[in-house]
Amino acid sequence: MTEQKRHHHHGNLREALITAGLELMEQGGPDALSLRKCAKRAGVSHAAPAHHFNGLVSLQAAIIARGYQKFSASMRRAADQADAAPQAQLNAICAGYIDFARSHTAVFKFMFQPHNNDSQTLDATTQEELDRDSMASYQILRDACAPFEHNDAQGVSTEIMVWSLVHGYAMLFCAPGKTESPSGPIPEFSQILPKLKLKTNITP
Amino acid sequence: MTEQKRHHHHGNLREALITAGLELMEQGGPDALSLRKCAKRAGVSHAAPAHHFNGLVSLQAAIIARGYQKFSASMRRAADQADAAPQAQLNAICAGYIDFARSHTAVFKFMFQPHNNDSQTLDATTQEELDRDSMASYQILRDACAPFEHNDAQGVSTEIMVWSLVHGYAMLFCAPGKTESPSGPIPEFSQILPKLKLKTNITP
DNA sequence: TGGGGTATCTTGACAGTGTCAACATGGAGA
DNA sequence: TCTCCATGTTGACACTGTCAAGATACCCCA
C-alpha cells in the first residue's frame, strides 16, 4: 500500500502541476498549456487544480516563478566558472542570461510577456514566490553592474543599459538554432557590449 | 438601399476583422482577441472569418502586419521632425520606436512574441503583408544605424547593438504610465545609448 | 441578355477550454 | 472518538476554434 494504491490525496499536487506545466510549455509553447492537460498529467481530475491555484493565471505565475529560479541558477553557474574580476563577472552573467534564453526559449519569452495578473489576484503563496524569485534574478544582474559607470551618467543608468541590451539581444536573437538576423550572421553578445569604465572608488 | 439594407456581402470584411482585432487587443490584451468576437463586431456570423483567414493564427499575423505599418509610421514621423544629422536621425528613430511601444504596448509586445505561425501555413496575402511590413520597419532602423561604427567592430554589429538596446528598453520599461524600475526611476533612452563614432567615408 | 460558376456568408455541430457548484473522502486536531 | 476542513471528484455551463453543408448574390462569359 506504499506506492501502488492511489490515495485520495495526491501528496504534492501543486509541484506536480507546475512541473507538468513547464513540460507542456517547453514542448508546445504557451498555448499548449492548459489546466486540464496539467491535471491529466498529474493523474487527477480536471477540477483538482482549482484547490491549489486561483485559476489559470496563477498557475502561469507559478510557472514563471519556477522559470526565474532556473534563470538565476543559469546566471550564477556562469559566474561561478568565471574569473572574479568585475568585467569577467559581468560577461559571465550576461552569458548565463543568454544561455537561459536559448535553452528555455518558450518559458523565457513567457516570463517577460504582458500578463493578465496585473490587476488580478493571485494566491498569496504564488504571489510571494513570484516576487521573491524575480527580484532575486534582477539582483544578480544588478550586482554585476554595480562596479561600473556608463556614459558619464551616475547611478542607475548602467544596469538599465546593460539589462536593456542583454534582454533585447535575448528576445530578438535567441531562438534554438538561430544564427541569422535579417541582415546577416548574429554576432556574439560580447561584441555588442560597450566598454564600461570602473567606478572610481573614492569620492571627495 | 445604399447603407441601411445589409447586403449578403460585407464589402470589406477582411479589413473590418483586422480593425476589430486591433481594438480588442489594445483594450483587453492578446487573450481578449477571438475570431468570434471579431466576427460579432463586424456584424457577421461566427464562421465568416474562415473565408478570409486561414484560422486564428492568420488573423493574428494580419494584425501584427498592421502593427508594423503603424510602427514604421511612428519612426518615420519622429525622423521627419528631427534634424537631418545622423545622430539626430538615430535618436529620433529610437524615440519613435519607444513611442510606439508606449502607446501601443499590447500590440507591440504581441508583435515580438513567439508565434505558432512558424511551421504553419498562413494565407498567401497575409504572409506577404507580414514579410513586407516587418522588413520595412527593420529597414528604417537599419538605415539610421548605417552611418555609425561601434566598438571597433565592422559591419553589422552596430545595428544589432542598437536594435537590442532599444528593443530591450522598450520591452522592459515601456508600459503606459510606467516610470519606475525595480531600482529607481527609469532614465530617458538617450541617457543609455552609448556614443557612436561616424564611419570614415573613405577606405584605402 | 441571360446563365452558370464562384466567392462570400450562414447555420449547425463537435471537441476542447476555464470556471463554478455540489458532493465525497480522509487526515489531523480537539 | 468525533468533527472540521483541506483535498479531490463529478457534472454542468459558456465560450473558443474549426469543420461540413447549405444559402445567397455577384461577376464573367456565351
Helix, strand, coil percentages (3-state) for chain B, rounded to 5, are 60, 5, 35
Q: What sign does the dihedral B112-B113-B117-B123 (CA atoms) show?
A: negative
Residue A123 domain flag:
yes
| More confident site: A202 or A48 | A48
SS3 B118: helix
Give pLDDT tens digits for A116-141. 766 668 998 999 999 999 999 999 99
- Is the CB of B176 inside 8 Å of chain A's CB atoms? no
CA closest to B57 among chain A residues: A31
B16 and B103 in a single domain? The answer is: no
CA closest to A189 among chain B residues: B161
Q: How far is CA A9 from CA A3, A47, A56, B139, in A?
A: 13, 14, 21, 58
Residue B146 domain flag:
yes
B42 and B61 in a single domain? The answer is: no
Residue A27 domain flag:
no
Task: Report d(CA A50, CA A53) in Å as an integer.
Answer: 5
Facing residues of B185 across strands? B180
Mean pLDDT (chain B) is 90
Instruction: Please count the structural domains in chain B.
Output: 2
Contacts of A164 in chain B (CB under 8 A): 164-166, 168-169, 172-173, 192
Residue range A5-34: average pLDDT? 89
Q: How far is CA A62 from CA A58, A107, A109, B183, in A?
A: 6, 12, 15, 24
Q: Which of A31, A114, A194 is the closest to B194 by Cβ? A: A194
Is-contact A190 B187, C-beta < 8 A?
no
Give pLDDT tens digits for A59-74. 999 999 999 999 999 9
The reply to whether residue A171 touches residue B168, judged by beta carbons under 8 angstroms, is: yes
Contacts of B138 in chain A (CB under 8 A): 182-183
Residue range B155-178: average pLDDT? 91
B83 and B164 in a single domain? The answer is: yes
A105, containing H or E segment = helix A105-111
What are φ and ψ of residue A180, in 5° steps? -120, 135
Q: In the A/B pair of chains, how many CB contacts fall below 8 A?
A: 127
Residue B203 domain flag:
no
Percentage of chain A with pLDDT > 70? 89
Task: Read off the pLDDT band of B153 (50, 70, 90).
Answer: low
Q: Which residues contact residue A124 at a Cβ distance below 8 angstroms, ignoring those fewer than 6 apart?
A: none
Residue A14 domain flag:
no
Residue B28 domain flag:
yes
Give me the CA A61–C1' C14 separation in Å, rounded: 32
| Residue B118 confidence (pLDDT) above 80 | no
Chain A closest-CA separation from residue B56 CA (Å): 12
Which nucleotides of strand D lie within 7 A of protein CB? 6-12, 15-21, 24-26
pLDDT of residue B101: 97
Q: Which residues contact residue A192 at a Cβ distance below 8 angstroms, ignoring those fewer than 6 apart?
A: A165, A169, B150, B151, B157, B160, B161, B164
CATH number at residue A131: 1.10.357.10
pLDDT of residue B25: 96
Range of the structural domain that residue B26 is part of: 1-52
Facing residues of A180 across strands? A185
Is-contact B74 B68, C-beta < 8 A?
no
Task: Report d(CA B56, CA B61) in Å as an integer.
Answer: 9
Chain B closest-CA separation from residue A202 CA (Å): 23
Q: Which residues contact residue A141 at a Cβ distance below 8 angstroms, ignoring those fewer than 6 apart?
A: A75, A93, A97, A159, A162, A163, A166
- Is the CB of B119 inside 8 Å of chain A's CB atoms? no
Least confident range of A57-66, A170-179, B6-15, B19-28: B6-15
CB-based burial label for A191 (10 Å; 0-12, 13-18, 19+):
middle
Nine-digit cell string for B178: 510606467
Task: Report d(CA B162, CA A165) in Å as an integer.
Answer: 8
Give pLDDT tens digits for A65-103. 999 999 999 999 999 999 999 999 999 999 999 999 999
Query: Cβ atoms within 10 A of the Cβ of B31, count?
Result: 13
Residue A18 domain flag:
no
Residue A160 domain flag:
yes
Nearest-nucleotide field for A6 (CA, C1')? D8
Is-contact B39 B17, C-beta < 8 A?
yes
Asked if residue B5 keeps its beta carbon closer than 7 A to nucleic acid strand D, the reply is no
Percentage of chain A with pLDDT > 90? 75
pLDDT of residue B157: 84
Identify the domain boundary among B26, B52, B78. B52
Asked if residue B47 keeps its beta carbon closer than 7 A to nucleic acid strand D, the reply is yes
